[in-house]
């Protein structure tokens, strides 16, 4: 009996004495899924009151999955400002006369997280309007702004084609993805690829299949096999699942940019005689045109509402720009760019910038482990208490509305569109989700029916974590209706 008391005491030792107990509805859901309370970390605080309503294992370092994007987007918003934009530059190295460039066109990237096909088309149209038509030399890609180790898209989960596994790149175009649209028509199936890619072939060997299928797994009945500049689709497509689409990364960044450039440039009436190659901007090159991205306030909405990993990684790398020269983390390399010398962005620089910001703001997160700032990581860690502290700090920031509006609205949009939709608690919370194998996370802001605002963090690290959604929803429902 004494041993049992000791074990129970150890289990609940981190439940604050002054806080309420975990609601029965939550513990019941946890029991159903076999998730022990010891694998759960929860912190609930009332915004602006500095009092904790519920704190369970809240000091424990936990893998937050995509909840780490809350740190990246808030630090970015505060350091860079909501109006911050990324630039992409076009240089000409040679003589431009009567529409002909006797030399190279150089594209230099600075990490734009959302350089879409539509924006790229408009920018290339601008190059044409400025008098550039025929490029006698090469298409040169300058990706030197990032100082990164080679990225292996298969390293995380051995699924290298998935869009969430795309690595960061200083010249990221359209998330480096190809959208495949599956269009069944009776017993026929068309597959359309977007955007247009020069020299790319799509071989559709899919067989339409009829029957009762679980359409959640519609894409698990066939394979997508990339090979150079082609993709072969083999297997069965469930016709009853209707039209579907998926975004896949099938080629390296440089080949992708070249292929899309050639397709659009030809469509605009231009020619490119040379090859694509990588190099830095030469001293003789002249700046020809600059593209500006969407503002940061818009970018963080995509990052948080749809949990875009590569955009979060791009933003995280941008944080290094905010470091003063005298605060360089070691010997950081520089690269010549046009008429000036630019610092190169790295993971180390961004971690240093983030830690500097936390210290400046009086937040010492000693357990914090950062790898890429997106949460697509096995090693990133933060405690529920510190994640809640971060959200409480953000609520007092003049830019708090920008951060909160970037979070998915419960039961309405983004990654929580289908959670508690149609219930009385829908629309009462802005929440960021996070999911990995063995991780289920939910954090954000809740507005209760008693007109109180709460910060809530609910992290699960357990082999059954994927079944923990009902327990998290039960906590949100309890908080909205009773507090």
Predicted confidence (pLDDT) per residue in 217-273, tens digit: 899 889 999 988 889 999 999 988 999 999 999 999 999 999 999 999 999 999 999
Give residue-wise pLDDT tens across range 363-391. 999 999 999 999 999 999 999 999 999 99
Q: What confidence score (pLDDT) does residue 222 get?
A: 93
Q: Which of the two residues, 40 and 217, has the higher pLDDT score?
A: 40
For the stretch 151-188, what's the b/e string if a residue is b when 16 or more beta carbons lie within 10 angstroms of its beta carbon?
eebeebeeebbbbbbbbbbbbbbbbbbbbbebebeeee
Confidence of residue 213 (pLDDT cuts 50, 70, 90): confident
The angle at the Cα of 337, spanning 176 to 285, to the nearest 5 degrees, equals 95
Q: What confidence score (pLDDT) does residue 12 get?
A: 42
In this model, does residue 14 exceed pLDDT 70?
no
Lowest average pLDDT, out of 55-64, 82-91, 181-190, goes to 181-190
Predicted TM-score (pTM) of this structure: 0.93
User: Is 14-79+351-482 in CATH node 3.20.20.70?
Assistant: no
What are the CA-CA distances from residue 387 to residues 36, 286, 301 (Å)?
22, 46, 19
Q: What confidence score (pLDDT) does residue 188 get?
A: 86
Q: What is the mean pLDDT of residues 164-191?
A: 94
CATH of the domain spanning 87-151+252-292, picked from 1.10.3720.10, 3.50.80.20, 3.40.1160.10, 3.20.20.100: 3.50.80.20
In this model, does residue 29 exceed pLDDT 80?
yes
In this model, does residue 337 exceed pLDDT 90?
no
Q: What confidence score (pLDDT) does residue 6 get?
A: 41
HSE value, Cβ hemisphere, 13 Å, CA-based, for 303: 35
Give residue-wise pLDDT tens across range 71-112. 999 999 999 999 999 999 999 999 999 999 999 999 999 999
Distance CA 5, CA 454 (A): 33
In this model, does residue 350 exceed pLDDT 70?
yes
pLDDT above 90: percentage of residues in the chain: 85
- Closest to 107 in 3D by CA, of 122, 92, 94: 92
CATH 3.50.80.20 domain extents, the chain: 87-151+252-292
Q: What confidence score (pLDDT) does residue 342 get?
A: 65
Distance CA 457, CA 461 (A): 13
CATH 3.40.710.10 domain extents, the chain: 14-79+351-482
By the 10 Å C-beta count (0-12 exposed, 13-18 middle, 19+ buried), 482 is classed as exposed
Residues 212 and 241: beta-carbon distance below 8 Å: no
């Amino acid at each position: 009996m004494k041993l049992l008391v000791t074990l129970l005491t150890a289990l609940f030792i981190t439940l604050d004495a002054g806080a309420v107990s975990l609601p029965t509805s939550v513990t019941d859901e946890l029991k159903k899924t076999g998730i022990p309370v010891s694998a759960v970390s929860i912190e609930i605080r009332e915004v602006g009151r500095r009092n904790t309503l519920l704190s369970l294992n809240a000091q424990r370092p936990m893998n937050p999955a995509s909840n780490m994007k809350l740190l990246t987007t808030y630090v970015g918003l505060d350091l860079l400002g909501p109006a911050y934009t990324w630039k992409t530059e076009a240089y000409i190295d040679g003589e431009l006369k009567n529409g002909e460039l006797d030399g190279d066109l150089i594209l230099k990237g600075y990490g734009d997280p959302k350089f879409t096909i539509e924006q790229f088309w408009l920018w290339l149209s601008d190059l044409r309007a400025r008098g550039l038509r025929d490029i006698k030399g090469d298409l040169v890609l300058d990706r030197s702004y990032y100082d990164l180790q080679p990225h292996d898209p298969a390293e995380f989960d051995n699924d290298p084609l998935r869009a969430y596994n795309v690595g960061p790149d200083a010249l990221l175009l359209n998330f480096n993805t190809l959208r495949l649209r599956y269009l069944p028509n009776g017993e026929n199936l068309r597959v359309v690829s977007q955007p247009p890619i020069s020299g790319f072939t799509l071989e559709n060997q899919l067989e339409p299949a009829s029957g009762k299928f679980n359409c959640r797994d519609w894409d698990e009945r066939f394979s997508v096999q990339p090979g150079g500049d082609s993709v072969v689709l083999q297997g069965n497509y469930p016709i009853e699942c209707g039209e579907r689409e998926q975004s896949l990364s099938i080629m390296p960044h440089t080949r992708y940019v070249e292929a899309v450039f050639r397709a659009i440039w030809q469509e605009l009436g231009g020619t490119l005689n040379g090859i694509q190659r990588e190099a830095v901007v030469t001293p003789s090159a002249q700046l020809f045109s600059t593209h500006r991205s969407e503002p940061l306030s818009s970018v963080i909405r995509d990052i948080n509402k749809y949990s875009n990993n590569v955009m979060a990684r791009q933003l995280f790398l941008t944080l290094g720009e905010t470091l003063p020269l005298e605060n360089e983390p070691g010997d950081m390399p520089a690269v010549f760019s046009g008429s000036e010398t630019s610092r190169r962005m790295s993971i180390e620089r961004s971690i240093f910038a983030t830690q500097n910001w936390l210290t400046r703001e009086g937040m010492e997160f000693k357990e914090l482990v950062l790898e890429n700032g997106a949460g697509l990581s096995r090693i990133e860690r933060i405690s529920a208490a510190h994640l809640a502290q971060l959200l409480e700090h953000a609520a007092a920031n003049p830019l708090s509305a920008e951060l909160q509006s970037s979070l998915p609205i419960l039961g309405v949009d983004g990654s929580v569109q289908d959670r508690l939709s149609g219930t009385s608690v829908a629309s009462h919370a802005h929440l960021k989700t996070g999911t990995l194998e063995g991780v289920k996370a939910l954090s954000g802001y809740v507005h209760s029916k008693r007109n109180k605002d709460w910060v809530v963090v609910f992290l699960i690290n357990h082999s059954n974590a994927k079944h923990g959604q009902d327990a998290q929803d039960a906590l949100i429902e309890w908080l909205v209706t009773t507090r």
